[in-house]
A and B are shown apart, each in its own frame.
Chain A
Amino acid sequence: MTTAPCGWTGNILRVDLTSGEIWTQPSTEYHLRYIGGRGIGARLAWEEIPPGVGAFDPRNPLMIFAGPLTGTSAPFSGRTIIMGVSPQSYPVEWFSRSNVGGHFGPELKWAGYDGIVITGQAERPCYLLIENARVELRDAGELWGLDTYEAQRRLMTAHGKGIRILTIGPAGERLSRIAIINTETESAAGQGGFGAVMGHKRLKAIVVRGTGKVHIAQPELFRRRCQAIAEEAHAPLGWPGPARLDPEKVVKYGERFHACTQGCTVRCSECRWYDRVPGVVRKGRLYSGQFHCASALFPGVPGTFYDWKLGFEAGFELSTICNEYGLNQWDILFGIVPWLRDCRRAGLLQDLDGIPIDPDDPHFWAELLRKIAHREGIGDALAEGGRRAPDILGFGREFADEYYAAWGYAGHWDGHGNRINEIFFPFWLVPALQWAMDTRDPLSSGHGYAQNIMTWSKHLSPQAGLDWDTIAEVAARVYGSRSAAHIRSGYEDKAFPAFWHGQRSVIKDSLLVDDQIFPRIYSEKTPDHFARALDMDGPSFEYHMFTAATGLDISEAEFERMAERVFNIERSVLVRNYGRDRAMDETVIPYFSKVEWWTNPELGERQALDVERFRRLMDEYYTLRGWDPRTGWPTRRRLEELGLRDIADELERIGRLGPA
């Protein structure tokens, strides 16, 4: 038995770049109420970010957090969450988040910290060096201007190969609203523009080495549970599903599966490595690195909306260039390039300062990325992200409206502007609600409803998928009714899944564990297709790992209440600082009111949102959340139930507390 904290370390590292001051703050009380990670960030945002602090205000606190499971032997536990006032957020720069994989978070825990909060602005480029208790700001004059790969290599030369690094590239240095924070070759806080927050602070990189330890309250129980969960997560369906290497690329480029983050114990189809792929744009160069997820769109995907003809080699090169510059691949692939293509077809724009717009030409792409990263010519407007660029340039807004679901983010599992994640009515109703209630693309840590249902179905997995009735039955265990996830269920019972997955999203972002894997709902291993392992139900896996690691003697309902508490703090920050309300939530409606991209095979006709019925779903959602349906503001009753009386008092004082 140990008296040291279990799971978390007990320390938050605080750095003020203006004064150069470095100190630590205790974290235990925050963990006991808000789990960790995203939960602590939310509370710190309430406490420390007053209204009026924009993304490029030195007071904007850049928060980099691990969670109680980070740096343990829990499977899928290597991720880190980054939070702060986000440059990409639209139309308002507000408090938001972005997660990053790689191996940084565990190292931060082993250095002795649950998270880092960085305020202020340095006078000259610097980097933060953390080696256990020794924390220093070092001059980054020699690193400023380097791409993210070269910067990391130089830091590894200086500090040894065992360090883990977060860094920005030229895009972040030039304050692009779509600048990423990168680690390794392709793990990044990709959305949110947090690379520009680091750039504004003149913080080039954060380097960590940790030789400490994370204590586990019940080691044998934890080990047994983690092992069982890791085995259960090996599924041939769902996401990431069955993954096979391409025999030709294995021979040519050494194609292998890599774990995109520490503790990932599946051979994920999302994450592969390639060696020495020859450059097409920069002939003579050989590119090596990881290739994840959205990157697979760079080569072009025949038969889809993203059918440019670049091919693998050019696609891999462009993905790498994008990572080196430190630019948001999602915004470029799902937003900017489709937008440019539309503008060209409509005769609104023929070229980028003389370079013809031709997505089949890799040189066009390379110039596009270079211009954006360096804010050159039209790149200066595009560096503001694909949502803002049309407003700045004065044309093409209607095309951007096709692709940008809400909040400055291109679509994801929405059935409309995102035209690679196949989903049809009624299933995108839940994502529509998730989009309405968030500060960003909610699907990146909220895949659990839409992605699971579609990828476990026979529709997308003809060989081994589950039929719609089975899916609805299994889903009923979690959502309380078959109508929540039945193909012919229409608007019935769609609010609860959105509410529930909101909690799951907080849980995943607070522990942290991987969103593609959790929550476990469906299974091919059990007779009733409901995920289980040992004595645990699938959706309870996170709770069981958390209690065995931390030793906290709480019920699962209390654990979920912690997540609900965090969700309410986030909402309260939005209400207090940015005037978030129902009217703002409803701005997602036009996007979903367009006719959907795919067709429900059992309905035979494409659907668009029925606005009145969707508004009633929103009413249901607000009621579940305990928010006033008219304003969308949290109520005193719910806030006090969650132990947030101080927040209720403040919202009341400023006249934004929901009645009753």
Chain B
Amino acid sequence: MKQRILLFDAVSCTGCLSCVTACSMAHTGAVSPASSRIHISFDPFENRWPAVYCRQCTAAPCAKVCPVEAIRLDERQEYWYVDYERCIGCMLCIDACPLGAMFYDPHHDQVIKCDTCGGEPACVKVCATQALAWGDAADRSLYRKQKGRR
């Protein structure tokens, strides 16, 4: 059972996109939104924007649909990750995700998703307004923040 979960507060997000560049850096050592596991649906004519990232579903549809069981829970049974040894690149997982939080990274020719950086998310470290937080998964009141209160 996961202890913590990545939470996003749209009211605090300023649209700086530091989370996107930090994620790419942390995973690949280079900066490309195409390699980022978190996306901000920035729109210059909107006040707030949704963040799209894996919410670590309890019964993950991506894992279910994968024909080779490449999407698996980590050893602590907390977070879903992609086992690239098994992945065949069919990308059914991209279709299956209800959030659109499974992405294709053309620079590494593989599907990518948030893996929480082993429990120390890089995006949370750089978010200067605490729009991204590493929160207590058991505190259900935090889930309200996902929608962004007015």
Which of A's residues lie within 8 Å of B, judged by CB?
2, 71-73, 75, 78, 102-103, 106, 110, 149, 152-153, 156, 161, 183-185, 211-216, 219, 222-223, 227, 230, 234, 254, 256-259, 262-267, 273, 275, 288-289
Cα of A223 to Cα of B29 in the assembled complex, Å: 9
Contacting residues, chain B, for A223 (C-beta < 8 A): 22, 25-26
Contact of A263 among B11, B21, B29 (CB under 8 A): B21
A-B contact pairs, 20 of them (CB 8 A): A73-B22, A73-B25, A110-B34, A152-B44, A183-B44, A184-B45, A212-B34, A213-B32, A213-B35, A214-B32, A216-B29, A216-B31, A219-B30, A223-B25, A230-B18, A256-B14, A263-B17, A267-B129, A273-B47, A288-B45
- Asked whether, in the complex, the Cβ of A254 is within 8 Å of the Cβ of B47, the reply is yes
> By DSSP majority rule, is chain B's interface helix, strand, loop, or mixed?
loop
Q: Within the complex, which residue of B11, B21, B41 is in contact with A73, where a contact is CB–CB below 8 Å?
A: B21
Task: Compute how far the CA of A184 lies from the CA of B46 in the bound complex, rounded to whole angstroms.
Answer: 10
Q: Are B17 and A288 in contact (CB under 8 A)?
A: no
Q: Check B30 against A213 for contact (C-beta < 8 Å).
A: yes
Once A and B bind, how many residue pairs between them come within 8 Å at the CB atom? 107
Counting chain B residues whose Cβ lies within 8 A of the other chain, the interface size class is 20 to 34
B126 within 8 A of A: yes
CB distance from B39 to the nearest CB of A (A): 9
Q: Which residue of A lies closest to B11 (CB)?
A: A256
Would you give the shortest CB distance from B130 to chain A, in whole angstroms? 11
Q: Which residues of B contact A (CB under 8 A)?
A: 11, 14-18, 21-22, 24-26, 28-35, 41-45, 47-48, 106-107, 125-126, 128-129, 150
Closest A-chain residue to B26, C-beta based?
A: A223
Minimum C-beta distance from A273 to chain B (A)? 5
Q: Point out the residues of chain B lying under 8 angstroms from A103, CB to CB.
A: 17, 42, 44
- Measured between C-beta atoms, what is the minimum distance from A251 to chain B in Å? 9
- Chain A positions within 8 Å of B129 at CB level: 257, 267
Residues of A within 8 A of B18 (CB): 73, 75, 230, 263, 265
A513 → chain B closest CB, angstroms: 14
The answer on a CB contact under 8 Å between B44 and A102 is yes
Cβ of B126: which chain A residues have Cβ within 8 Å of it?
73, 227, 230, 265
What residues on A are CB-neighbors of B14 within 8 Å? Answer: 256-259, 264, 267
Task: Indicate if the CB atoms of B31 and A71 lie closer than 8 Å.
Answer: yes
For residue A250, give the distance in angstroms from its CB to the closest CB of chain B.
9
Q: How far is the CA of A354 from the CA of B130 in the complex (A)?
A: 53
**In whole Å, how far is A117's beta carbon from the nearest beta carbon of chain B?**
24
A284→B85 CA distance, assembly (Å)? 60
Let me know if A213 and B42 touch, CB within 8 A. no
Complex Cα–Cα for A152 and B42 (A): 14
Known: A73-B126, A254-B47, A275-B47. A262 touches B16 (CB 8 A): yes
Instruction: Given A213-B24, A288-B45, output 8 extra A-B contacts at Cβ < 8 Å.
Output: A72-B31, A73-B24, A103-B42, A149-B45, A161-B41, A223-B22, A265-B126, A265-B128
The reply to whether A185 and B128 form a contact with Cβ atoms under 8 Å apart is no
Please determine whether B48 and A72 come into contact, CB atoms closer than 8 angstroms: no
- The residues of B that contact A212 with a CB separation of less than 8 Å are 32, 34
